[in-house]
């Protein structure tokens, strides 16, 4: 079954600290993996997209890693800010020609406290 599992479900950290969010997937065939940030009441915003051949990609204070062998990805946030409070969603795209085959995780809700 094509699934994307994220952990933890929720996380509270202090401003300035680092954190790492995890994503495990069982999607096949694999095309790419995306991380999105979704603020409450808003649509998701793309952070990174990684294909099979990429194992790390950065976007400012966000660094995503991908291990296609173990089917795991992580999103590392450095020097967290209050504005990082949001849900972070891992999405895996299936290959096979259909662009509609995006499998979404349920997200990790991150709260950054002052």
Binding site for another protein (CB under 8 A): 4, 31-32, 41-46, 49, 51, 89, 91, 93, 95, 98-102, 104-107
- Minimum gap (Å) between residue 61 Cβ and another protein: 19
Closest C-alpha to 72, from 106, 31, 21: 21
C-alpha 37/C-alpha 108 separation (Å) is 10
C-alpha 58/C-alpha 47 separation (Å) is 9
- Minimum gap (Å) between residue 114 Cβ and another protein: 26
Nearer to another protein, 11 or 49 (CB): 49
**46 alpha carbon, distance to own chain's centre:** 9
Q: Is 53 helix (H, G, I), strand (E, B) or coil?
A: coil
Nearer to another protein, 77 or 90 (CB): 90
Nearer to another protein, 25 or 80 (CB): 25
């Amino acid at each position: 079954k094509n699934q994307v599992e994220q952990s933890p479900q929720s996380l509270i950290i202090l401003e300035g600290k680092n954190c790492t969010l995890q994503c495990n997937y069982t999607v096949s065939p694999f095309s790419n993996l995306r991380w999105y940030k979704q603020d409450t009441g808003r649509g998701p915003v793309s952070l990174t997209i990684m294909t099979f051949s990429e194992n790390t990609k950065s976007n400012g204070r966000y660094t995503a890693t991908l291990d296609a062998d173990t089917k795991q990805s992580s999103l590392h946030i450095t020097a967290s800010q209050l504005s990082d409070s949001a849900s972070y969603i891992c999405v895996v795209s299936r290959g096979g020609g259909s662009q509609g085959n995006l499998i979404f995780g349920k997200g990790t809700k991150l709260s950054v406290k002052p």
